[in-house]
Chain A
Amino acid sequence: MTTDAAAVSITALSKRFERGDVLALDRIDLDVQPGEFVSLIGPSGCGKSTLLRIIGDLIRPTEGDILVNGKSAHAARLDRDYGIVFQDAVLYDWRTVAKNIALPLEMAGWDRRRRDARVTEMIDLGELSGFEKHHPWQLSGGMQQRVSIARALSFSPPLLLMDEPFGALDEMTRERMNNELLRIWQETLSTVVFVTHSIAESVFLSTRVVVMSARPGRIAGIVEIDLAHPRSSETREDARFAEHITQVRRLLRKGHALDAPEEDEAPLYVAEEGL
């Protein structure tokens, strides 16, 4: 981790998509400090996934500045400064669980011995032992997502980007995964930027919740979450938990988010080939 530099520093950042001439993000300012767990929450079309991809240098902003670990987002990507987890696990069918986790290590040029040692650690971290030689299609959805998280953390990136990682899971699995993610966050001391649709999830997980409004995507407000760590299922019954949920809900309403009719998430970003 670079000393003193913010994990993510965003200044006056805007993104306009040429296709459809959509202003997805409008003059966003946001700093994320090392070790923070920051959630981005907002209605469909508020640009939260777009913002996450800009941090990851998977798409470029139209205007404004972004620094990741004190460098340009592009340099940070080439330095493998972040791991990313999508809503779907995006595992490679033709690789076993162990080999899926080893993929980023192969890309980074680790030799086999180091790879194997690290994969064993990650299998433990993700509580996946016994499944090393399984193929992804033989696992449940929650387990696939654990593999995906283990893969993202395998090369110890200082930053973890998560795009609605538990959105496709049922409520029970989701709560369990939330608990596990907090455990992993505390064990690895990484910084997390987490995109979600769920108010409860954002409050439970985060140190700060960034509430966004849609069309154009703006920051409606930021809620500091002062719930003690480690958090557990009891945290959800805490009175402060309910208060924070109300705070987030109010900000969403202020951004007209809750009054707006639900719309399907348009494919607001277009993967740009060969950046």
Chain B
Amino acid sequence: MSSAAVARPVVEPRREALVPALRNIGLSLLVLAVVCLLWEAYKWLGERLEITHPFPVNNRTMPHVHDMVGQLFEPSRRNGPLLIDVLLDAAAFTAKEAAAGFLLGAAIGFGIAIVLSESRLLQRGFLPYIVASQTIPILAIAPMVVVWVNPKLPESLAGWGAVSVIAAYLTFFPVTINTLRGLQSADPRAVELMRSYAGNRWMILRKLRIPASFPFLFTALKIAAPAAVVGAIIGELPSSIQDGLAGAILNFNQYYITSPESLWATNIIAAALGIVFFLVVALAERLLVRRAPENVA
């Protein structure tokens, strides 16, 4: 009856994207190489031309890239372990705080978004304060969080638990704002469709609004993941935690004059940790969110 052509899949389902992935990695490495090259070129020129603005160029202000990386494989102190081992231990400690804070903040942020999306009244009442919460510098609230949270924590969490709460404080905000937008992004006709199936609010939320919000949620999580790392490092400062990256940063700050490469090396590790957090979220997004290519950021 139908004159439709023999049914054959016109487009193969998206499969392994290995080649593009490798190309992306190659491109990122290329950019990194170019940045290193520019750094070295500016340094070389600056030393020859004796540039003094905005700062004098020398080995202290701009150590060689290979010296920074090389420093990682020097002993951290006389007869001590290699710097990279020390820093990786510190990074692992900070990562634990950041990951716990990230998960806590993401869960709280998502929960707040759901509550606010279901009530215009609550949304109007609370949203200004949620925004205001982010205008308070984290350094100003960190000591209070430590004082409030730490005494109530079990021993296993003592110390770093408060830091996680600070990381969560930075995480929840983008998650709330983006998820709220995502929950409200559902096509009005899709809502009518759900109502035509006698769907109630809960069903519409579960089957339509929440899945529709996922691309927005993951955009937020990709912003929040590195922010959680920054939050954890800053949170370590007033908590007097020595085991994390903040301890290393403080320490090498003091020795910057004699060994600037150590601080730079620490920064490299901290940046790498943030990138790892981002990549984990990006990978999760690839695995979990199946959307039309044009709807994927």
Residue-wise interface mask of B (1-33) relative to A, using a CB-CB cutoff of 8 A (1 in contact, 0 not): 111100111110100000000000000000000
Q: Which single member of A58, A135, A179 contacts B2 (CB below 8 Å)?
A: A179
Residue-wise interface mask of B (196-222) relative to A, using a CB-CB cutoff of 8 A (1 in contact, 0 not): 111101010001100100100000000
Across the interface, which residues of B come within 8 angstroms of A80, CB to CB?
A: 196-198
Known A84-B193, A183-B2: A135·B188 in contact at CB below 8 Å: no
Across the interface, which residues of B come within 8 angstroms of A58, CB to CB?
A: 192, 195-196
Whether the pair B9, A90 counts as a contact (CB closer than 8 A) is no
**A94 CA / B208 CA spacing, docked (Å):** 10
- For residue B51, CB closer than 8 A to chain A, the reply is no
CB distance from B18 to the nearest CB of A (A): 20
- For residue B135, CB closer than 8 A to chain A, the reply is no
Across the interface, which residues of B come within 8 angstroms of A92, CB to CB?
A: 190, 208, 211
Residue-wise interface mask of A (77-97) relative to B, using a CB-CB cutoff of 8 A (1 in contact, 0 not): 111101110101010111000
Please give the number of chain B residues whose Cβ is less than 8 angstroms from any Cβ of chain A in the complex.
36
Residue-wise interface mask of B (259-297) relative to A, using a CB-CB cutoff of 8 A (1 in contact, 0 not): 000000000000000000000000000000111111100
Whether the pair A138, B13 counts as a contact (CB closer than 8 A) is yes
Across the interface, which residues of A come within 8 angstroms of B196, CB to CB?
A: 56, 58, 77, 80, 82-84
Whether the pair B2, A79 counts as a contact (CB closer than 8 A) is no
- CB-nearest residue of chain A to B197: A107
Residue-wise interface mask of A (91-114) relative to B, using a CB-CB cutoff of 8 A (1 in contact, 0 not): 011100000000110111000000
Across the interface, which residues of A come within 8 angstroms of B1, CB to CB?
A: 179-180, 183
Q: Which single member of B13, B189, B294 contacts A133 (CB below 8 Å)?
A: B13
Across the interface, which residues of B come within 8 angstroms of A57, CB to CB?
A: 195
- For residue B89, CB closer than 8 A to chain A, the reply is no
Known A107-B203, A127-B4: A90·B292 in contact at CB below 8 Å: no
- For residue B194, CB closer than 8 A to chain A, the reply is yes
Whether the pair B193, A90 counts as a contact (CB closer than 8 A) is yes
What's the count of A-B pairs with C-beta under 8 Å? 97
Known A129-B7, A137-B292: A94·B211 in contact at CB below 8 Å: yes
- CB-nearest residue of chain A to B294: A137
- For residue B74, CB closer than 8 A to chain A, the reply is no
- For residue B187, CB closer than 8 A to chain A, the reply is yes
Across the interface, which residues of A come within 8 angstroms of B292, CB to CB?
A: 93, 135-137
CB distance from B3 to the nearest CB of A (A): 6
Q: Which single member of A79, A130, A273 contacts B198 (CB below 8 Å)?
A: A79
- For residue A240, CB closer than 8 A to chain B, the reply is no
- For residue B191, CB closer than 8 A to chain A, the reply is yes
**A204 CA / B248 CA spacing, docked (Å):** 79
**A83 CA / B193 CA spacing, docked (Å):** 9
**A88 CA / B193 CA spacing, docked (Å):** 12
Across the interface, which residues of B come within 8 angstroms of A117, CB to CB?
A: none
Whether the pair B191, A271 counts as a contact (CB closer than 8 A) is yes
Whether the pair B197, A108 counts as a contact (CB closer than 8 A) is yes
Please give the number of chain A residues whose Cβ is less than 8 angstroms from any Cβ of chain B in the complex.
43
- For residue A266, CB closer than 8 A to chain B, the reply is no
**A31-57, CB < 8 A from B:** 53, 56-57
- For residue A134, CB closer than 8 A to chain B, the reply is yes
Across the interface, which residues of B come within 8 angstroms of A3, CB to CB?
A: none
Across the interface, which residues of B come within 8 angstroms of A185, CB to CB?
A: none
CB distance from B105 to the nearest CB of A (A): 24
Across the interface, which residues of B come within 8 angstroms of A261, CB to CB?
A: none
Residue-wise interface mask of A (158-187) relative to B, using a CB-CB cutoff of 8 A (1 in contact, 0 not): 000000000000000000100110010000
Across the interface, which residues of A come within 8 angstroms of B295, CB to CB?
A: 93
- CB-nearest residue of chain B to A142: B4
Whether the pair A86, B2 counts as a contact (CB closer than 8 A) is no
Across the interface, which residues of B come within 8 angstroms of A79, CB to CB?
A: 198
Whether the pair B190, A90 counts as a contact (CB closer than 8 A) is yes
**A108 CA / B2 CA spacing, docked (Å):** 31
CB distance from B218 to the nearest CB of A (A): 12
- CB-nearest residue of chain A to B288: A94
- CB-nearest residue of chain B to A80: B198
- For residue A128, CB closer than 8 A to chain B, the reply is yes
CB distance from A60 to the nearest CB of B (A): 12
**A274 CA / B8 CA spacing, docked (Å):** 41
Whether the pair A131, B291 counts as a contact (CB closer than 8 A) is no
Whether the pair B194, A107 counts as a contact (CB closer than 8 A) is yes
Q: Which single member of B3, B192, B293, B294 contacts A84 (CB below 8 Å)?
A: B192
Across the interface, which residues of B come within 8 angstroms of A275, CB to CB?
A: 195
**A224 CA / B2 CA spacing, docked (Å):** 26
- CB-nearest residue of chain A to B12: A138
> Which residues of A come within 8 Å of B, CB atoms?
53, 56-58, 77-80, 82-84, 86, 88, 90, 92-94, 103-104, 106-108, 127-131, 133-140, 176, 179-180, 183, 271, 273-275
With contacts A86-B192, A94-B290 known, what are 13 further pairs, Cβ within 8 A? A56-B196, A58-B195, A93-B291, A94-B291, A104-B197, A107-B194, A128-B7, A134-B13, A136-B292, A138-B10, A138-B11, A180-B1, A271-B192
Which 10 A-B pairs give the minimum distances between C-beta atoms?
Answer: A137-B292, A107-B197, A138-B11, A271-B188, A104-B197, A84-B196, A78-B198, A130-B7, A90-B189, A94-B211
